[in-house]
């Protein structure tokens, strides 16, 4: 199996919404973003799958060494081998990959966040820099597009945090800021025990609104000239905002169930959004757009 095939299988097996946004990219960009996504999955799995923190730290240290080898041109893992060409072609900065690993260290060392300012740093490292790397792969003309990409990554992470409240609590992690739990009269121990209590629904509603504000802020920075280049992010935003709608429609019952969209619905949203963006591009440029 080639490194590119390994990354493709990693992305396809995950069932992630990101996979559907990759389908409408040119081949070289699709290979690059799939390799980036596979890297994120590999290091994220270390923090989530290892019950022994010492083992997890050792594995992250191995990925740190492998990242160094990747940028020195001597990688050994299929994912870092697949990243070699994209790093050269799209001038991807090593420090962004480092921040992704730093986020996973935060997962191991910090299971509570006192304020949103603390959480915002984690969101930047776990997802904002992934947005920045993605923007480099997709291409842009306007520097404001980088602000869009970072804000959009944070919006995705906030959506994931809301969706995964129960699952994360099962691992002993609370990503919702503790001062906001206090404001809404939610006891952290209730989250950890999976107990539904008064105030939770309004707390979750507040978190959803914050995520929506990040989506709106992100798109306020996206130049119309860069929108078609960045269409994968636009597709992802459509899928994730549909997920937020479902969470709200379910009454913010994230402690009772994990809300998700079916693969068919994700594909339908992706196809519909890609088609809309193609029409928008044609209208702006008066040229045919190729997906």
176: left (phi over 0), alpha (psi -120 to 50) or beta: beta
Tokens of 287: 């040229």
Q: Pick the last residue of a domain from 54, 85, 109.
A: 109
- The tens digit of pLDDT for each residue in 239-256 reads 999 999 999 999 999 999
Is residue 91 domain-shared with residue 158, that is, in the same domain?
no
Residue range 71-129, pLDDT digits in tens: 999 999 999 999 999 999 999 999 999 999 999 999 989 999 999 999 999 999 999 99
From 69, 94, 109, the end of a domain falls on: 109
Q: What is the pLDDT of residue 288?
A: 55
CA nearest 170: which of 145, 191, 186? 191
Domain limits for position 223: 111-291
Residue-level pLDDT at 291: 43
Residues 64 and 115 in one domain: no
Q: Do 286 and 149 belong together in one domain?
A: yes
Q: Please determine, for residue 290, whether its predicted confidence score (pLDDT) is greater than 70.
A: no
Overall pTM surpassing 0.85 (yes/no): yes
The helix/strand/coil state of 171 is coil
Average pLDDT over residues 278-286: 84
CA end-to-end distance (rounded Å), the chain = 27
CA distance linking residue 262 with residue 248, whole number of Å:
17
């Amino acid at each position: 199996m080639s490194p590119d095939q390994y990354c493709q299988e990693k992305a396809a097996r995950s069932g992630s919404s990101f996979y559907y946004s990759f389908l409408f990219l040119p081949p070289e960009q699709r290979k690059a973003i799939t390799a980036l996504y596979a890297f994120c999955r590999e290091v994220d799995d270390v923090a989530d799958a290892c019950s022994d923190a010492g083992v997890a730290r050792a594995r992250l240290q191995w990925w740190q060494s492998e990242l160094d080898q990747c940028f020195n041109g001597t990688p050994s893992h299929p994912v870092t081998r697949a990243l070699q060409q994209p790093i050269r072609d799209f001038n991807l900065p090593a420090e962004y990959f480092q921040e992704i690993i730093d986020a996973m260290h935060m997962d191991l060392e910090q299971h509570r966040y006192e304020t949103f300012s603390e959480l915002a740093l984690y969101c930047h490292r776990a997802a904002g820099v992934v947005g920045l790397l993605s923007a480099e792969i997709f291409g842009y003309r306007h520097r404001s597009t980088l602000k869009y990409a970072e804000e959009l990554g944070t919006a995705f992470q906030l959506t994931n945090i809301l969706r995964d409240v129960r699952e994360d609590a099962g691992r002993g992690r609370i990503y919702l800021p503790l001062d906001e739990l206090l404001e809404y009269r939610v006891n952290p121990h209730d989250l950890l025990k999976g107990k539904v209590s008064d105030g939770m629904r309004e707390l979750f509603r507040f978190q959803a609104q914050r995520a929506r504000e990040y989506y709106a802020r992100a798109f306020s920075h996206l130049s119309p000239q860069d929108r078609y280049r960045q269409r994968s992010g636009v597709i992802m935003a459509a899928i994730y905002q549909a997920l937020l709608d479902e969470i709200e429609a379910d009454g913010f019952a994230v402690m009772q169930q994990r809300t998700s969209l079916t693969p068919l619905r994700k594909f339908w949203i992706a196809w519909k959004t890609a088609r809309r963006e193609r029409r928008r591009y044609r209208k702006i440029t008066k040229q045919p757009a190729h997906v």
